[in-house]
Amino acid sequence: MDNQYNYYKPESDGEAANTDGSYGGSNSNDSSYNYAGGGSYNYYQQEQPKPKKKFPKKLITLLICAVIFGVVAGGAFEGTRYLVGKITGSGNAQENVKSVSNAQLTTTNSVVTSDVSGIVENTMPSIVSITSTSVQQVMSFFGGISEIPSESAGSGIIISQNDKELLIVTNNHVVENSDTLTVTFSDETSIEATIKGTDSTRDLAVIAVELENIPDETKDAIKVAVIGNSSSLKVGEPVIAIGNALGFGQSVTNGIVSAMEREIDGYDGKYIQTNAAINPGNSGGALLNASGEVIGINSAKINDSSVEGMGFAIPVSDVTDIIETLMNRTKVDENDRGYIGVKGYDVTEEGAQMYNMPTGVYIAEIVKGGAAEEAGIKKGSIITGFEGMEINGMESLQEQLSYYVAGDQVTVTIQQPTRDGEYAESDVTVTLQKNK
């Protein structure tokens, strides 16, 4: 029988296993024996006394060696069985295995078992469910436009709190275009939240819940997550994903680190790849290491019928500075907001490859007397950064401007075309103005 085993084969779902019970080898019914030795027998011959059998010295030596080998092998087998038992935690060696705290993966001499209940119990109070509500305009069959409320589900990680707010990190795509946000804690208490800051280029957002709105019993039930070091991860290391899968509430999956520094089309930065199941609603949830520390923010999954077990998380160590910046920001009133004074359009990744240009905002027009003109920015330049944050289009530029008032000085990174067809990068200090 072929020694290949298919534990999961979608294309042959329901196919019966091979039940052929035939066995190879010679047929035991073959009973042809040669009784005739070819010699004559004298039935009346006087019976001769049988000679005593003598064992050759070599045979005696072999038997003694076999007995000795049997004793040694028996001892070796018992020793091997004890050693295997000590490694695997089975047999008589089980009593020699030290118990490990249920706040981490249970291990026996570095062999990882599947019980992650201790980590989950300790970490779940720092994970939240996020419900985003928005209103979509839909054109009817008769040409009219109606507004239909829409809800989407996501997850978040409690990362800090200040004097007034509890701060939660999640994905930007979980909260973008939302009219209202509701956070549900581990004790099922739901409270409205607001957006502190977003970074669409890295698909990150920080939202806040007012402490005064959180009941005391809920404050006692929740905790701030412990942030780990994603830079020290190794391929094959066990990980656990927790999130609000499909909006049903928190669920847990586990797996390993499948690869590091993966790049995904449409996403900036490099990602952790894992085979732990990451489903819709898991976005913004936690990817944990074996110590229960957050080492990734679940973000994406390859959605293809031919792909299985390919989820991706943002390495937390790569975005610590961005998260801290978003935590400390507050959007300003639109009437007070500062403007650069440019008109432009997006340079997408496709356009950048086609025309050999950097991604960002192509400046098609400079507003006369505006902030950009006074700072010396020229038409044809491409804005690629704003106060250290990457800019990949007008949406991300406007998003960054929403935190600054007129009169603030900001650093704008631009790429200017050179005579040889390349682009040269420079930082320009711009004093923002009111919209004209």
pLDDT digits (tens, 9 = 90+) for 298-345: 987 665 556 677 889 999 999 999 999 899 888 888 889 999 999 999
Q: How confident is the model at residue 234 (pLDDT cuts 50, 70, 90)?
A: very high
In a domain, residue 296? The reply is: yes
Q: What is the DSSP letter of 76?
A: H
Average pLDDT over residues 159-186: 92
Q: Cα(178)–Cα(237) distance, rounded to whole angstroms?
A: 36
Q: Cα(160)–Cα(170) distance, rounded to whole angstroms?
A: 13
Q: How confident is the model at residue 137 (pLDDT cuts 50, 70, 90)?
A: low
321 or 44, which is more confident: 321
In a domain, residue 258? The reply is: yes
Q: How confident is the model at residue 365 (pLDDT cuts 50, 70, 90)?
A: very high
Do both 295 and 340 map to the same domain?
A: no
Domain end call among 327, 353, 375: 327
Do both 294 and 242 map to the same domain?
A: yes
So what's the pLDDT on residue 302? 61
Q: How confident is the model at residue 56 (pLDDT cuts 50, 70, 90)?
A: very low
Q: Cα(83)–Cα(175) distance, rounded to whole angstroms?
A: 54
For 216, the domain range is: 126-221
Do both 174 and 199 map to the same domain?
A: yes
Q: How confident is the model at residue 179 (pLDDT cuts 50, 70, 90)?
A: confident
Name the least confident of 14-18, 188-192, 273-277, 403-407. 14-18
Q: How confident is the model at residue 105 (pLDDT cuts 50, 70, 90)?
A: very low
Residue 213 neighbours by CB under 8 Å, 6+ apart: 191, 192
Mean pLDDT of all residues in the chain? 76
Average pLDDT over residues 408-413: 96
Q: Given a cut of 60, is residue 282 above it in pLDDT?
A: yes
Q: Cα(326)–Cα(330) distance, rounded to whole angstroms?
A: 8
Do both 217 and 234 map to the same domain?
A: no
What's the first-to-final CA gap in the chain, in angstroms?
Answer: 80
Average pLDDT over residues 414-419: 92
Domain with 152 in it: what CATH number?
A: 2.40.10.120
Do both 323 and 374 map to the same domain?
A: no
Token couple for 68: 């000795």
Domain end call among 305, 327, 349: 327
Closest CA to 311 of 341, 330, 285, 291: 285
Name the least confident of 95-99, 164-168, 284-288, 339-343. 95-99
Q: Given a cut of 70, is residue 357 above it in pLDDT?
A: yes
Do both 234 and 315 map to the same domain?
A: yes
In a domain, residue 318? The reply is: yes
So what's the pLDDT on residue 266? 67
Q: What is the DSSP letter of 47?
A: P
Average pLDDT over residues 179-197: 93
Q: Given a cut of 70, is residue 2 above it in pLDDT?
A: no
Q: List the catalytic residues.
A: 173, 203, 283
So what's the pLDDT on residue 13? 35
Closest CA to 160 of 250, 228, 226, 243: 226
So what's the pLDDT on residue 330? 81
Tell me how long the chain is. 436
**Cβ–Cβ < 8 Å for 230, 318:** yes
So what's the pLDDT on residue 305? 59
Do both 204 and 249 map to the same domain?
A: no
Beta 165-170 vs 145-161: how paired, if at all? antiparallel
- Long-range CB pairs of 208-212 (<8 Å, 24+ gap) are 208/165, 208/166, 208/167, 208/168, 209/165, 209/166, 209/168, 209/183, 210/164, 210/165, 211/161, 211/163, 211/164, 211/165, 211/166, 212/164
Do both 162 and 241 map to the same domain?
A: no
Do both 314 and 378 map to the same domain?
A: no
So what's the pLDDT on residue 200? 83
Residue with tokens 């010679």: 26
Domain with 323 in it: what CATH number?
A: 2.40.10.10
Distances (CA, A) of 310 to 166, 254, 277: 32, 13, 8
Average pLDDT over residues 46-57: 44
In a domain, residue 47? The reply is: no
Q: Given a cut of 60, is residue 40 above it in pLDDT?
A: no
In a domain, residue 213? The reply is: yes
Do both 211 and 141 map to the same domain?
A: yes
Q: Given a cut of 90, is residue 427 above it in pLDDT?
A: yes
In a domain, residue 41? The reply is: no
Q: Given a cut of 80, is residue 372 above it in pLDDT?
A: yes
In a domain, residue 44? The reply is: no
Do both 276 and 305 map to the same domain?
A: yes
168 or 420, which is more confident: 168
Q: Given a cut of 50, is residue 139 above it in pLDDT?
A: yes
Average pLDDT over residues 81-98: 37
How many whole angstroms from its chain centre is CA 394? Answer: 29
**Cβ–Cβ < 8 Å for 288, 123:** yes
So what's the pLDDT on residue 264? 79
Q: What is the DSSP string of 128-166?
A: EEEEEEEEEEEE-TTS-EEEEEEEEEEEEEEEEE-SSEE
In total, how many domains does the chain have? 4
Q: Cα(285)–Cα(263) distance, rounded to whole angstroms?
A: 20
In a domain, residue 114? The reply is: no
Give alpha helix (H) positions in 97-241. Answer: 117-123, 172-175, 216-221
pTM, full prediction? 0.63
pLDDT digits (tens, 9 = 90+) for 249-275: 899 999 999 999 998 776 778 999 999
Domain with 360 in it: what CATH number?
A: 2.30.42.10
Domain end call among 221, 246, 279: 221
Do both 131 and 74 map to the same domain?
A: no
Q: Given a cut of 60, is residue 94 above it in pLDDT?
A: no
Q: Cα(189)–Cα(183) distance, rounded to whole angstroms?
A: 8
